[in-house]
Amino acid sequence: MHLMRQLCFSGRLPVSPWIGSGLAHKTCALHRSRRCLRSMTKCALRQNDDQDTGVSSVFNANRFQDAFVDSTYSWASSSAKPVIPIEFVRKSEWDSWYAEQDSAVQTWIKSIRGNGWSQNAVASIPSFHPDTLGEVEKVVVPISTKTSPIWAVAAVVGSVPTGRVYKVVRLSGVSSTDIEIGWAMGNYSYNQYKTKSAANNGDADQNAEESANVDMPKLVQSSSPAEKLLVDSSVSATYMVRDIINTPAEHFGPANLEAACSALASKFGASCTAIVGDQLLRHGYPQVHTVGRAAAADRAPRLIEIFVE
């Protein structure tokens, strides 16, 4: 067996249970032997418990997909507004880009920024056509080589009208993978404790969620299948970790992390084991036990391991 990741968890959960690329908890020692593994407890998986924050952090991590539409999206639908193009412009390209714009756009840009390049300052350029006067016609994003393209794109999401579909038409060297990862990051929100909008029927929560998905600014995906796989795996992992971090310690204890690890292992065909409570002493992890032994029985300290065959 190959040790994929080893997690150590005490009953005293810090405010941020899992931070970035590392753990907020102590790092466990490597497993002692295969013989030891045979006496470990298989991780508890509560896939049917919708209230378990650990399980939901894994299975809700793909919700970012609502922020995208595929390339077959109907551009000319009678009920849909036109897709809004997004252009990323480097500083070295700004003058030539500005010269290509019609006089109305040039005048508008000059009025707000003196036709100068302003780093990462998202500009929604309005339409000057009588039938669509004032509506957003396109979005221009001045992007710096010193700024991560992912976070430059993420900043766009909060700066454009919601409920519309967008398509990147000028990349300026930014990969479609970075664009889609950034778009998904910009759409991240943690709504677990937000009050749902009232509805006249019993589907208030579902209606509120569907309404949020409709209002979300969406992006036409242009990545290849291989690139899309990279986007999906990168963003799902980030959403999962962010949800774990954002869940208060009161609602995300050691058992929830074990359930999350078990769900993750099950999802990818791996195995998961846990050493819980006094079993830690018998397996040679006295420090893990000491840190969490004062916790309530349902928040007993544990060492969790995920293995790939």
Per residue in 246-273, pLDDT (tens digit) is 999 999 999 999 999 999 999 999 999 9
Q: Is 82 exposed, middle or buried (0-12, 13-18, 19+ CB in 10 A)?
A: middle
* Residues 211, 91 share a domain: yes
Rounded distance, CA 251 to CA 75, Å?
44
Greatest Cα pair distance in the chain: 78
Q: Among the three residues 187, 220, 253, which one is the final residue of a domain in this structure?
A: 220
85 shares its domain with 28: no
Helix (H) or strand (E) segment spanning residue 161: none
The tally of domains found in the chain comes to 2
Task: Kindly report the pTM of this predicted structure.
Answer: 0.77
Burial string for 88-123 (b: 16+ CB within 10 Å, else e) reads bbeeebbeebbeebeeebeeebeeeeeeebeeeebb
Range of the domain at 185: 71-220
Q: What pLDDT sits at residue 236?
A: 96
How far apart (Å, rounded) are the C-alpha atoms in residues 136 and 67? 19
User: Phi then psi for 233, rounded to 5 degrees?
Assistant: -70, -40
Q: Which of 220, 255, 289 is the last residue of a domain?
A: 220
> 207 with 251, same domain?
no
87 & 160 share domain: yes
Give me the pLDDT at residue 29, please.
34
Domain end among 185, 220, 255: 220
Shared domain check, 55 and 79: no
Q: Is residue 116 part of a domain?
A: yes
112 falls within a domain: yes
Other Cβ atoms within 10 Å of 295 Cβ, number: 17
Higher pLDDT, 52 or 198: 52
Tokens of residue 154, six digits: 């993420």
Per the prediction, the chain carries an average pLDDT of 78
Residue 50: band (very low, low, confident or very high) from pLDDT cuts 50, 70, 90: low
Please tell me whether residues 127 and 189 are part of one structural domain: yes
Q: Are residues 33 and 131 in the same domain?
A: no
Residue 230, domain member (yes or no): no
CATH assignment of the domain containing 110: 3.40.220.10
225 part of a folded domain: no
| 158 and 52 in a common domain | no
pLDDT tens digits along 22-37: 333 333 333 333 334 4
Is there a domain that residue 226 lies in?
no
Is residue 76 domain-shared with residue 54, that is, in the same domain? no
Residues 51 and 30 in one domain: yes
- Residue 237 belongs to a domain: no
Instruction: Please state, in angstroms and rounded to a whole number, the distance separating the CA atoms of residues 179 and 149.
Output: 7
User: Could you tell me what percent of the chain has a pLDDT over 90?
Assistant: 43
The answer to the question of residue 186 being in a domain is: yes
Q: Are residues 22 and 98 in the same domain?
A: no
252, 162: one domain: no
Is 227 part of any domain? no
- List pLDDT tens digits, range 84-120: 999 988 888 888 998 999 998 888 888 877 766 777 6
